[in-house]
Amino acid sequence: MDYVSTRGSAPALDFEGVTLAGLASDGGLYVPREWPRFTQDEIAAMAGLPYAELAAKVMQPFVGDSIAPDRLLELTREAYGRFAHAAVTPLVQLDERHWVLELFHGPTLAFKDVALQLLGLLFEEFLSKRDDHITIVGATSGDTGSAAIDAVAGRAKVDIFMLHPFGRVSDVQRRQMTTVLAPNVHNIAIDGSFDDAQAMVKRMFADTAMTGRFAISAVNSINWARLMAQVVYYFASALQLGAPCRKVAFSVPTGNFGDVFAGYVAAKMGLPVERLIVATNVNDIVARAIASGDYSCGTVVPTAAPSMDIQVSSNFERLLFDAGGRDGAALAAQMTGFEASKAMQLTNAQREGAAALFTSARADAGDMSQAMRWAFEAAGQVLDPHTAIGLHAARAAEGLPADVPVVTLATAHPAKFVDAVERATGVRPPLPARVGDLFEREERFDHLPGDYDAVAAYIAERATPRNG
């Protein structure tokens, strides 16, 4: 399987190449040259497989010759063996129509674990083979940082430097990062805001003094391997609900459009998906684009669902490329225009391509609390704010055939957002036992001034240079 850039001019790469590259060199995102497709019989034969086996089956066409099937299965067993539930992503029923797919049983209670636990192993696999080394640099306001750190802690050939704004992440989120004491993990608290930290990371990717010495890499959701790992749970849940004989709809709390795009990929592979409901909070750029074709940035409004507080949905470019006829040169021009004016209009082909599968709905703070209360009162389920937004959109969806079940993806454990949950339901969900001693563990991080040169010098002193 080879991969092409959405902007048409970067070289095609194999799976190993796209995993290590992240972003394409022309600024685009990598997508498979064509979608692999399973027959209905092949999908039916997947029913009942343990999650790790299903994962290896669904991902093998994307991995191609980069990893042998036996080895891929070893990797998925290792990655998903670290989850606290035997089903890895268990499905819970709320009422006759609505289900919740719990994606938060990984080590850091965030759905990002599902993809990042595997990505950490893939990095180690490919870098050991090449005898090379990478330096992951990121900025986090919470969830992504802890999931990325956990995924690479103690792994050979990888160092991670994670910046967070000093005093501005929650105690739980900070401790999930700073209590990981592996020698390849470096937590840096900087004076300033998340945006200041993010700006430093961006500057470092463009700093040739740093990129010349170190193979600096990111683990953000533009990495194809992360998306690929997320396709698996669409198969897992749809199979449980009767696929391929029965269609299933999904409602997905959306930020960067990675998770819901994985649902689109599942549909392209032959999974009978009736609809993908893109759920946003008041930061609704993608909901507007899908409803009206208008993709234009506003300013980010902070909400109780911070992982969905985004201005631009980076993975949306993959949908624009695929739905718009896969014309890299045309999309490159469209994206350049967007980057200059912060607004664009979808083409007719892009709009129609999106409308074939996606609808959208946005939830404000009241809708979110109401959905949380409904789940608690109707089914005894305590949901986090992101999942509650997904459930609101699922329940608001119109025109679905009566026999189609609707699965809302539960993207975070409610204990990570106790205050918002308590306000809506009166319940304070406890941290699960596996992370229950978080507040007794030793913390380690360094506190640096909000100064790029200080951060670059800190990293240069500790990172392992690239080979050659």
Q: Which amino acids are annotated catalytic?
A: 112
State the nearest-atom distance from the C-beta of 440 to ligand PLP, in Å.
25
**What is the three-state SS of 223-243?**
CHHHHHHHHHHHHHHHHHCCC
Instruction: Report the C-alpha dihedral over residues 228, 90, 54, 83, rounded to 10 degrees.
Output: 80
State the nearest-atom distance from the C-beta of 452 to ligand PLP, in Å.
26
Q: Which pair of structure tokens corresponds to residue 454?
A: 């200080």
Q: Binding segment for ligand PLP among 84-92, 242-250, 251-259, 321-329 (CB under 6 A)?
A: 251-259
Q: Would you say the C-alpha torsion 56, 57, 58, 62 has a positive or negative sign? A: positive
State the nearest-atom distance from the C-beta of 230 to ligand PLP, in Å.
8
DSSP state of 301: P
The contact pattern for ligand PLP, residues 259-288, with x = CB under 6 A and - = no contact, is x-----------------------------
When asked if residue 257 is in the footprint of ligand PLP (CB under 6 A), the reply is yes
State the nearest-atom distance from the C-beta of 354 to ligand PLP, in Å.
15
Q: Would you say the C-alpha torsion 103, 104, 107, 108 has a positive or negative sign? A: positive
Q: Binding segment for ligand PLP among 9-17, 94-102, 174-182, 255-263 (CB under 6 A)?
A: 255-263
DSSP codes joined into one string, 82-137: TSSSTTSS-EEE-SSSEEEEE---STTSBTHHHHHHHHHHHHHHHHHHHT--EEEE
Q: Binding segment for ligand PLP among 20-28, 48-56, 109-117, 346-354 (CB under 6 A)?
A: 109-117
State the nearest-atom distance from the C-beta of 284 to ligand PLP, in Å.
13
- Judged by CB under 6 A, the residue of 5, 89, 140, 221 near ligand PLP is 221
State the nearest-atom distance from the C-beta of 234 to ligand PLP, in Å.
13
The smaller minimum CB distance to ligand PLP, of residues 104 and 374, is found at 104
DSSP state of 64: G
The smaller minimum CB distance to ligand PLP, of residues 46 and 282, is found at 282
Orientation of helix 316-323 relative to helix 328-341, angle to 10°: 140
Q: Binding segment for ligand PLP among 110-118, 263-271, 320-328, 375-383 (CB under 6 A)?
A: 110-118
Q: Binding segment for ligand PLP among 130-138, 159-167, 254-262, 331-339 (CB under 6 A)?
A: 254-262
When asked if residue 255 is in the footprint of ligand PLP (CB under 6 A), the reply is yes
When asked if residue 155 is in the footprint of ligand PLP (CB under 6 A), the reply is no
- Judged by CB under 6 A, the residue of 391, 412, 435, 455 near ligand PLP is 412
d(CA 414, CA 108): 12
- Judged by CB under 6 A, the residue of 63, 101, 110, 249 near ligand PLP is 110
375 with 382: CB under 8 angstroms? Answer: yes
Single-letter amino acid, residue 196:
D
The smaller minimum CB distance to ligand PLP, of residues 16 and 143, is found at 143
When asked if residue 143 is in the footprint of ligand PLP (CB under 6 A), the reply is yes
Residues near 292 by Cβ (< 8 Å), separated by ≥ 6? Answer: none
State the nearest-atom distance from the C-beta of 310 to ligand PLP, in Å.
7
- Judged by CB under 6 A, the residue of 7, 57, 98, 112 near ligand PLP is 112
Q: Which pair of structure tokens corresponds to residue 438?
A: 């978080």
State the nearest-atom distance from the C-beta of 252 to ligand PLP, in Å.
7
The smaller minimum CB distance to ligand PLP, of residues 270 and 390, is found at 390
Interface with ligand PLP (CB under 6 A), residue total 17
Measured from the Cβ of residue 47, the count of other Cβ atoms closer than 10 Å reads 14
- Judged by CB under 6 A, the residue of 253, 263, 328, 405 near ligand PLP is 253
When asked if residue 395 is in the footprint of ligand PLP (CB under 6 A), the reply is no
The smaller minimum CB distance to ligand PLP, of residues 143 and 322, is found at 143
Q: Which of 155, 161, 80 is nearest to 123 (CA)?
A: 155
151 with 225: CB under 8 angstroms? Answer: no
d(CA 306, CA 413): 14
d(CA 318, CA 433): 39
Give residues 299-328 in contact with ligand PLP (rule: CB under 6 A): 307-308
The radius of gyration of the chain from alpha carbons, rounded to an integer in Å, stands at 21
202 with 70: CB under 8 angstroms? Answer: no
For ligand PLP, the binding residues (CB under 6 A) are 110-112, 143, 221, 253-259, 307-308, 386, 411-412
